[in-house]
A and B are shown apart, each in its own frame.
Chain A
Amino acid sequence: MAIEGADLVKAAAFLGAGIAMGLGAIGPGVGEGMTAAKACEAIGQNPREAGLLTRTMLVGQAVAESTGIYSLVIALLLLFVV
């Protein structure tokens, strides 16, 4: 079974894409979950401010999402561009 050099490179690109997005999904998941949990606690303590607290939660989660987006971009680059 002869493996071409170009195939090996593609194989590595796919492997890299999987590692990038797979591991990259861990962090935002944990971080945004923590944010949501504390947001629930915060609203439980102060229900009148639910609107402000929800907005703060969403902005905080959006920032934590950014590293997941970086991983997605690198994974897509590995799959389709390089």
Chain B
Amino acid sequence: MMEFDAQAWVKVAAFIGGGMAIGFGAIGAAIGEGYTASLANLAVSRNPKISGDIFKTMLVGQAVAESASIFALVVAILLLFMNPSNASMIQAAAFLGAGLSMGFGAIGSGIGSGFPGGQACFGLSRQPAVASRLTTNMLIGSAVCQTPAIFSLVVAFILLFMNFSAAPLNPNWAALVGAGLSTGLAAIGSGYGGGMAAGASCEGVARQPEAVGNLTTIMLVGQAVAQTPAIFGLLVSFILIFKVWPETAQIQTAMALLSAGLCAGFGGIGPGLGNGMAAEGAVRWVARNLSSAADLMRIMLVGQAVSQSTAIYALVVSLVLIFVV
């Protein structure tokens, strides 16, 4: 394996990482924008007279969903054309990690941002008079929904631009790839879940415009809890990036670090989705039953805490893999 110089391996990792970054990254935003466009069409059919407003809202909502894939495009272009002068094998691992991080990270946020856009368009057809509140709610909800993609972008940039040549190759290559996986995968669930809550809040504002204050509050609280698995993923990524492990020829240390990344990453998907579903349910029913808003908030938080449990188990196992074994 050592016949190829490090420069070749760096390019290999950069190209595969770049392909993965835009390949995975394109999935989410397209699905989300398609959802927005489909509901916009239904809205226009219901209320053709305000088709201009619906159209504008659709384009704005789609633009927010697009941002996740723009991040992915930026990372892919950087990977393709960045030719670092200090090429080393560890840099190859960092590039691969960057591609994985941004690629996976854009999926959830892209799909999730489509939900508030679509529901805002449909809500416009029902209640054209509250257009400004709907647009505001849509923008707030989809902006919070982009947070996991931003976490992934931060990790990708750190992996791209930080100089790792001081770290010995084995086992730090696994730490860097694991760092990419950890944030990237965990962002899928949190992005999608946050989007579900935002979509329900836009639908709710159309149904009960006077409840917009309560709806926005519950949406933000629910989204904040849904972001927790992505934050766990980010925490594990930072530990894996910034801690330098001493050189060891043993394979099990490397695999432990890679596995820590996989654990925190995959472990965040389910709880992120589940928290989002809980938040969506709570927001949806606050719109229909404003008087029980406090009860709904309480039940949502209890339910989210329980569904968060496996994310905490995953975080604990990741930390054990990093620090104990």
Contact = CB atoms under 8 A, between A and B. Distances in A.
B53 to A, nearest CB: 12
A75 B77 CA distance: 11
Interface string B24-43: 11111111111111111110
Interface stretch (B3-11, B204-212, B222-230, B305-313): B3-11
B183 to A, nearest CB: 19
B23 interface: yes
Nearest to A26: B27
A29 to B, nearest CB: 8
B62 A60 contact: yes
Contact of B41 (A24, A53, A63): A53
A34 B16 CA distance: 30
Contacts of A52: 44, 48, 51
Contacts of A30: 30-31, 34
Contacts of B15: 9, 12-13, 15-17, 78, 82
A53 B253 CA distance: 58
Given A28-B30, A56-B37, A41 B62 contact: no
Contacts of B69: 66-67, 70
Contact of B33 (A3, A15, A42, A63): A63
Interface string A41-82: 111011001001100110111011111101100110110001
A60 B40 contact: yes
A16 B96 CA distance: 11
Interface in B99-141: 110, 114
B255 interface: no
Given A27-B29, A52-B48, A57 B22 contact: no
Contacts of B9: 8
Contacts of A20: 18-20, 22-23, 76
Contacts of B290: none
Interface residues of B, number: 56
Chain A interface residue bracket vs B: 35 or more
A34 B8 contact: no
Given A23-B26, A74-B80, A63 B19 contact: no
Contacts of B32: 31
A80 to B, nearest CB: 12
A31 B39 contact: no
B26 A38 contact: no
B42 A42 contact: yes
A29 B20 CA distance: 18
Nearest to A19: B19
B217 interface: no
Interface of A: 2-3, 5-6, 8-9, 11-13, 15-24, 26-35, 37-39, 41-43, 45-46, 49, 52-53, 56-57, 59-61, 63-68, 70-71, 74-75, 77-78, 82
23 contacts: A5-B8, A12-B11, A13-B15, A19-B16, A24-B27, A27-B28, A28-B30, A29-B30, A30-B34, A31-B33, A31-B37, A34-B35, A34-B37, A38-B39, A42-B42, A42-B44, A42-B46, A49-B44, A57-B37, A59-B55, A66-B69, A67-B29, A78-B15
Interface of B: 3-5, 7-9, 11-13, 15-20, 22-42, 44-46, 48, 51, 54-55, 58-59, 62, 66, 69, 72-73, 76-77, 80-81, 110, 114
Given A16-B17, A27-B29, 19 more contacts: A5-B7, A20-B20, A20-B76, A23-B23, A28-B30, A31-B35, A31-B114, A33-B34, A35-B34, A45-B46, A46-B48, A49-B48, A57-B41, A59-B59, A61-B34, A63-B33, A64-B30, A70-B73, A70-B76
